[in-house]
């Protein structure tokens, strides 16, 4: 009986992890879409995009609180699933002395927890540096359609003129690709979409998404570094 209830709660945790993971994939796609304006030689394009978001006021705060909640649910459920798997594995080894087919899966989950922890640390650093970085009061000012706005473009360009920042971003974006590849597939497994017809489609979509998103994010710092002459 207790095994049954444990099983059910583990399915629930996986479901939360999968659904929040897919929500985060959606955020990452939208975020990359906005950031692609950084490739333009016109700084107003990126600054106007950022200003439009900031002008949403209360709606933006609500979206940010929602996003933070999704991140927290994703992280807590991921750690919880990971810990239950570790416990189950230790118990299985003890009882049977053999993990059987489970070992392949557990290697994937171990790599997911590590790439996940690195991504979490990255996002905290990223948000502190850019979102909560210097703004209008520190001289990062521009004028858009007669209105004063934060020159976020200047901040991002200065940030990626630094080879250390560019190197960290390139490495983390590759890890993001790995995390998304396995995570996308895993989310659909948790949602029960395990079917000979759909699984290959989900797998391929996961690969394409992971490559496109990692490459898109990775090219931005490299592009800016080259365009700023590569000096700090
Ligand atoms: C080259 C890559 C990236 C660039 C240039 C970039 C740029 C930015 C900028 C400029 C902001 C501040 C926006 C503002 O204050 O209005 C921001 C916020 C943020 N970024 Fe990124 N980003 C990149 C990659 C990522 C990745 C890979 C993730 C997540 C996996 C991410 C997650 C976030 C989050 C959560 C915020 C805070 C959003 C908010 O509170 O409104 N970013 N990013």
Report the pLDDT value the prediction gives residue 102, as an integer from 0 to 100: 40
Tens-place pLDDT, residues 89-144: 777 655 444 444 444 454 555 689 999 999 999 999 999 999 999 999 999 999 99
- The CATH number given to whatever domain includes residue 221 is 1.20.1300
- pTM for the whole structure: 0.89
Is position 166 within any domain?
yes
Above 60 in pLDDT, residue 199? Answer: yes
**Is the shortest distance between the CB of 35 and ligand 1 below 6 Å?**
yes
Q: Rounded distance, CA 6 to CA 105, Å?
A: 19
Is position 232 within any domain?
no
The rounded Å distance from CA 213 to ligand 1 centre is 13
Tens-place pLDDT, residues 1-27: 444 445 557 888 899 999 999 999 999
The rounded Å distance from CA 8 to ligand 1 centre is 36
| First-residue to last-residue Cα distance in the chain | 62
Is position 218 within any domain?
yes
CB of 153 within 8 A of CB of 38? Answer: yes
> Number of structural domains, the chain?
1
Q: Rounded distance, CA 172 to CA 119, Å?
A: 7
Is position 108 within any domain?
yes
CB of 160 within 8 A of CB of 138? Answer: no
Nearest CA to ligand 1 atom 39: 64
The rounded Å distance from CA 23 to ligand 1 centre is 15
The rounded Å distance from CA 20 to ligand 1 centre is 18
Is position 132 within any domain?
yes
Report the pLDDT value the prediction gives residue 96, as an integer from 0 to 100: 47
Of all residues in the chain, the percent with pLDDT exceeding 70 is 87
Is position 103 within any domain?
yes
Query: Range of 148's domain?
Result: 2-227
Phi, psi of 149 (to 5 degrees): -140, 165
Q: At 204, which helix (H) or strand (E)?
A: helix 199-227
The rounded Å distance from CA 31 to ligand 1 centre is 7
Report the pLDDT value the prediction gives residue 145, as an integer from 0 to 100: 92
Provide CB contacts within 8 A for 89, sequence distance 6+: 99, 102, 106
Closest ligand 1 atom number to CA of residue 173 = 27
**Is the shortest distance between the CB of 28 and ligand 1 below 6 Å?**
yes
């Amino acid at each position: 009986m207790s095994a049954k209830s444990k099983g059910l709660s583990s399915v629930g945790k996986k479901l939360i992890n999968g659904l929040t993971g897919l929500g985060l994939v959606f955020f990452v796609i939208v975020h990359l879409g906005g950031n692609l304006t950084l490739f333009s030689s016109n700084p107003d394009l990126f600054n106007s995009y950022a200003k439009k978001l900031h002008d949403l006021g209360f709606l933006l705060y609500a979206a940010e609180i929602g996003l933070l909640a999704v991140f927290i649910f994703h992280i807590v459920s991921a750690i919880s699933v990971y810990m239950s798997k570790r416990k189950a594995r230790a118990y299985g080894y003890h009882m049977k002395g053999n993990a059987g087919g489970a070992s392949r899966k557990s290697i994937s989950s171990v790599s997911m927890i590590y790439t996940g922890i690195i991504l979490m640390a990255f996002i905290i650093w990223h948000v502190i540096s850019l979102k909560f970085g210097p703004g209008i009061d520190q001289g990062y000012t521009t004028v858009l359609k007669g209105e004063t706005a934060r020159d976020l473009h200047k901040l991002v360009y200065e940030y990626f003129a630094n080879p250390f920042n560019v190197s960290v971003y390139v490495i983390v974006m590759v890890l993001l690709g790995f995390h998304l590849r396995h995570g996308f597939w895993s989310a659909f497994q948790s949602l029960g979409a395990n079917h000979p017809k759909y699984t290959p489609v989900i797998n391929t979509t996961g690969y394409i998404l992971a490559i496109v998103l990692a490459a898109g994010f990775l090219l931005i710092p490299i592009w800016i570094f080259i365009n700023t002459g590569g000096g700090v």
